[in-house]
Amino acid sequence: MVMIASIQNKFKNFLSLKNVAIAFLVIYFAIFMVYPISKAFIGSFYDWNPLIDQFNFVGLNNFKEVIGDGLFWNSIKNTLLFTSFSVSFRLVIGLGLAMLLHSKLAKYKSFFNGMFYMPTITPLVAVSFVWMWMFNPQFGLINNIFHLDINWLNDPKYALPAITIMTIWKDFGYATVIFLAGLMGLPKDVYEAADVDGASGFKKFTNITLPLLKPTTIFILITSLISYLQAYVQILIMTEGGPGTSTYVISYLIFDEAFVKYNFGTASAMSMILFVIIAILTAIMFKVTEERKITP
């Protein structure tokens, strides 16, 4: 009986700790997720400037102003260009290096894993400052190594590509590690059967490896889209949206409207549009995953 009572007490304590943890998560989610999103949604219908305690209802005027703003559409274009190139190269480089580490460089896997992943865990602020120096037109490493004469961060043609290059370099290690984990979990008997059938390396890659890696690819694709559509830090540090507005992305434009011009209502409307874009793209990715019956 004493043992049963002890077990019951431990079970009650476990339930109590579980309830506390759940309550903490609910409170955290409400304070840091639900409240900010709700405040931004409500604020998007108001002429809102907290500095002068201004909060006047304007209906859909903020959304009309945003949709009619050429800078907004330029920022959307820059965001889509930056995101598409960053995601594509992250996937391609990450998968290529993972394949290399899984086969020819398998015995050096731990070393290269750490080396490739190091930029990922390095603070983005520090990486941005280092790459600003590397892109310097006079003494930067990029121009000196490749014998170029490009003013990377001060030329509208090259500023956004330069930021994209830096972002790809910083983040490809994450995709490499995730893809490598996916490759290590693939069934070996399928490849053995393909070898018996005389399948070439290319056919094994296209008919076995890629289909089996779809859950991993979808995961990296979704997380990358969400991350890059909200890119901001590297833009702020490296170009501040310039030269001109050539590196304005939607997140930087939202920052500019809110904390430089103090048009919090307009910034909130832009935030809601970005929220919808991210939600739609994420839903499409999950729908594709579900239709193809991919299970993580």
CA atoms of 171 and 62, how far apart (whole Å)? 35
Domain match, 79 and 124 both: yes
Residue-level pLDDT at 294: 42
Residue burial 60-98, b: 16+ Cβ < 10 Å; e: rest:
eebbebbeeeeebebbbebbeebbebbbebbbebbbebb
Instruction: Classify the C-alpha dihedral 254-32-289-166 as positive or negative.
Output: positive
Predicted TM-score of the model (pTM): 0.86
Domain match, 208 and 109 both: yes
Residue-level pLDDT at 8: 52
Q: Structure tokens of 162?
A: 């330069």
Question: Considering only 25-29, 57-61, 235-239, 273-277, which range has the smallest mean pLDDT?
Answer: 25-29
Which tens digits make up the pLDDT trace of 129-175?
999 999 999 989 999 999 999 999 999 999 999 999 999 999 999 99
CA atoms of 190 and 250, how far apart (whole Å)? 45
CA atoms of 160 and 245, how far apart (whole Å)? 10
pLDDT at 5 over 60: no
Is 48 domain-assigned?
no
Domain match, 177 and 220 both: yes
What value does the mean pLDDT take over residues 271-283?
Answer: 88
Residue-level pLDDT at 279: 87
What value does the mean pLDDT take over residues 104-119?
Answer: 80
Domain limits at 6? 2-43
Number of structural domains (the chain) is 2
CA atoms of 163 and 146, how far apart (whole Å)? 18
